Chain A
Amino acid sequence: MTGTFVGMPAFPTAARDALADSQLRGNLARATGTIRAKRAAAVAEVPEWEALRAAGAAIKDDVLLHLEDYLVQLEASLTASGATVHWARDAAEACAIVAAVAKAHDADEVVKVKSMATQEIGLNEALAEAGIAAWETDLAELIVQLGDDLPSHILVPAIHRNRAEVREIFQRAMGTAGRPAPDGLTDEPAELAAAAREHLREKFLRAKVAVSGANFAVADSGTLVVVESEGNGRMCLTLPEVLVSVVGIEKVVPTWADLDVFLQLLPRSSTGERMNPYTSTWTGVTPGDGPQEVHVVLLDNGRTRALADQVGRQALRCIRCSACLNVCPVYSRTGGHAYGSVYPGPIGAILNPLLRGVGVDDQVDSLPYASSLCGACYDVCPVAIDIPSVLVELRSQVVDAHRGGLPGGEAAAMSAASWVFGRARRLAAAERVSGLTGRLATRLARRLPGPASAWTDARDLPTPPRESFRAWWRRTGGGGDA
């Protein structure tokens, strides 16, 4: 039902199309501007914010460096509390486990809590192939699913849609999936939310199987945590008889007590609230309350590849708050689709190459370059992921992966620059030549041909001076009229 990202063009091409869409630019600018201000206010309220960030990063680092121990502990805690633990090496294995659980209960549909892990593995498409309908119940996911669209934001997958578009999608598609939109539906967000409530309620009330992810999985207690706003999560986690949670292996936190860090960091960073409306925690099966059959699928799907990357490993601290998307000057102009993944924005620009590896797919290889390295993402990251440094590291891996064979234009240019910058006298000679040709070129044309056109199509070039600084210093001995 929902499309996939496979075969997306590389970032610069996809970005060009997105930038040309003025409706999209407007929707994004408004939405990211709003959430940025809310986050800033919510964070400013907490004097110990930096201490929280440091603790969040340190706890996650401890988890990553001792992941085997914590996973084994989590498995034992979950099992002891009545949950069934499964392990999935990759997307296909995870999807097959979920499908098998649903089939075992003769379910031809499941209700879903919004979950990045299940999007990442393409669960809905896999379940559809197995004859099982997966109903997204988060409002934004519902908009994406009904619109046969792709998610473009981690927290608000339909951020690229404005209210008028949402109304049109609901009117057109709700009837094909169940209860149709009410007559006379306007584009007021409150009315649109009410329409989603009516549409989904019958699905919640009849569903036998629910699928979720988890924001955190506590190793010492076997507790899973889902943080949400709408109550669709509570519906899925409470009403069905069977619950399957797909959890990335990096979602572990060591102890219950550690949640006091993340339950402060996440809501303030994510929606800019002191606390999100609903947080549910459950530990295996509770007799007489909620699902009586609980499954947990521990998912690798590239996470161990990322773990092996000494610099990139820190990306696995990510708690999927999306603050980095909202502040990113690139994301807030291109939107999420240009990144070609369910993980867009700055975190996506590092997470996708880390999970999937570089040197295989040009689209993935283009992502580390989709940044001006302005550093706004690092500043807001609640677990202090140094995204710019990881981007730079991944660029070097992309370059390394493409070594061998004839060097391309860029590699040749960088080698030449390296040679020139290796000795000042070579640089001085180069400056004499480039100053001369540069003056000539800028005098002849404002728009240059070839690769230089990427600059001059929209920007004038400065006219090079008659004399470099170095030549002036040499000529005057640094003296004279500085």
Chain B
Amino acid sequence: MSARDEILGRVRRALADADRSSPPVSRDYRVTPPDGADLVALFVERVTDYRATAVVVPDADVSAAVEAALAGRRPIVPDGLPWPVDGLADTGQAAAELDAVDAVVTGAALGIAETGTLVLDHGPGQGRRALSLVPDVHVCIVRADQLVYGVPQAVALLDPARPLTWVSGPSATSDIELDRVEGVHGPRTLHVVVADSFRA
């Protein structure tokens, strides 16, 4: 008998006597976000809690804010980034070549205000996953209208068929005495630029 058939058979036997009527899952936890919540302010506060930096600028000033965040580093820039940023193009560099690149600038699919999370779905302007992983500085631009309140709103918008990377602050570890330190294998520095035309 194949392992598959044997395991499925064991599952069947294990539940032979079980009462299999499971009550419907209550979705009470999907609460309506608080009325008039200032998502931008909350997002910035929560991102900053992770010891990332965050600035809010009008759309026209995004390129300047990115340049300031880069502080002279030359980034790799994925195709399709809607804001003009000077840097290397993604030509399919191998990981070792990316390791020689100082920074990366990407957009995001959305941002989660409550948790200070950026989600990349690696579509246009975000690049393949290695781009936003190997360079040591990640500058991520998110539009204010891409912010949602909490995790349920984010999951509902995301397409699982795409690879997703959820980023909440710079790489970190608590593995030594459960003392959190930033900076292990992922980008050790995360700068977030929130493009908010209405705040201009």
List CB contacts (< 8 Å) of A231-278 with chain B: 231-232, 234-235, 237-239, 249, 256-261, 263-264, 271, 273-278
Select from chain A the residue with minimum beta-carbon distance to B99: A205
- Digit string of B91-119 for contact with A (CB within 8 Å is 1, else 0)? 00001100100000000000010111100
Chain A positions within 8 Å of B11 at CB level: 67-68, 71, 249, 304, 307
Give the size category of A's interface with B.
35 or more
Interface membership of chain A positions 41-57, coded 1 if the CB is closer than 8 angstroms to chain B and 0 otherwise: 00000011001101100
| Chain A residues, CB < 8 A from B18 | 65, 310, 313
Interface segment, one of B67-75, B80-88, B151-159: B151-159
Q: Give chain B interface residues in 7-36, CB to chain A under 8 Å.
A: 7-8, 10-15, 17-18, 20, 22-31
Bound together, the chains give a CA A396 to CA B22 distance in angstroms of 27
Q: How far is the CB of B162 from chain A (nearest CB, A)?
A: 7
Residues of B in contact, count (CB < 8 Å): 76
Min C-beta distance of A469 to chain B, whole Å: 44
Q: Which residues of B contact A119 (CB under 8 A)?
A: none
B185: min CB distance to chain A, Å: 4
Measured between beta carbons, the chain B residues less than 8 angstroms from A298 are: 7
The digit string for A128-154, where 1 denotes a CB below 8 A from any CB of B, is 000000000111100100000000000
Besides A55-B27, A68-B15, A231-B185, 8 other A-B contacts (C-beta < 8 A): A58-B23, A68-B8, A158-B175, A205-B99, A231-B133, A235-B186, A278-B166, A300-B10
Which of A75, A86, A159 makes the CB contact (< 8 A) with B178?
A159
Q: Are B117 and A204 within 8 A (Cβ)?
A: no
Residues 148-176 of A, flagged 1 when their CB comes within 8 A of B and 0 if not, give 00000000101101110010000000000
CB-based nearest A residue for B152:
A260
A residues contacting B by CB (< 8 A) are 27, 30-32, 34-35, 47-48, 51-52, 54-55, 58-59, 61-62, 65-68, 71-72, 75, 81, 86-89, 93, 137-140, 143, 156, 158-159, 161-163, 166, 189-190, 192-194, 196-197, 200-201, 204-205, 218, 221, 223, 229-232, 234-235, 237-239, 249, 256-261, 263-264, 271, 273-283, 286, 288-290, 298, 300, 304-305, 307-308, 310, 313
Flag B117-140 by CB within 8 Å of A: 1 or 0 each: 100001000001110011000000
Contact for B95 among A31, A66, A71, A204, CB less than 8 A: A204
B185 touches A197 (CB 8 A): yes
CB-CB under 8 A from A200, the residues of chain B are 185
Residues of B within 8 A of A237 (CB): 129
- Inter-subunit contact A62/B26 (CB<8 Å): no
With the chains together, A260 CA to B150 CA distance in Å? Answer: 9
- Pairwise interchain contact A235-B177, C-beta atoms closer than 8 A: no
Q: State whether the Cβ of B37 lies closer than 8 Å to any Cβ in chain A.
A: no
Q: Quote the shortest CB–CB distance from B75 to chain A (angstroms).
A: 18
A51 touches B29 (CB 8 A): yes
How many A-B residue pairs have C-beta atoms within 8 angstroms? Tell me: 253
- In whole angstroms, how far apart are the Cα atoms of A71 and B13 in the complex? 15
Q: Is the Cβ of A58 less than 8 Å from the Cβ of B7?
A: no
Check A263/B133 contact, CB under 8 A, given A89-B3, A230-B171, A307-B11. no
Which residues of B line the A interface, CB within 8 A?
2-4, 6-8, 10-15, 17-18, 20, 22-31, 46, 49-50, 95-96, 99, 112, 114-117, 122, 128-130, 133-134, 150-152, 154-156, 158, 160-179, 181-187
B185 in contact with A204 (CB, 8 Å): yes
Which residues from chain B contact A231 at a C-beta distance below 8 Å?
Answer: 133, 171, 184-187
Contact A277:B171 (CB < 8 A) given known A68-B8, A193-B183: yes
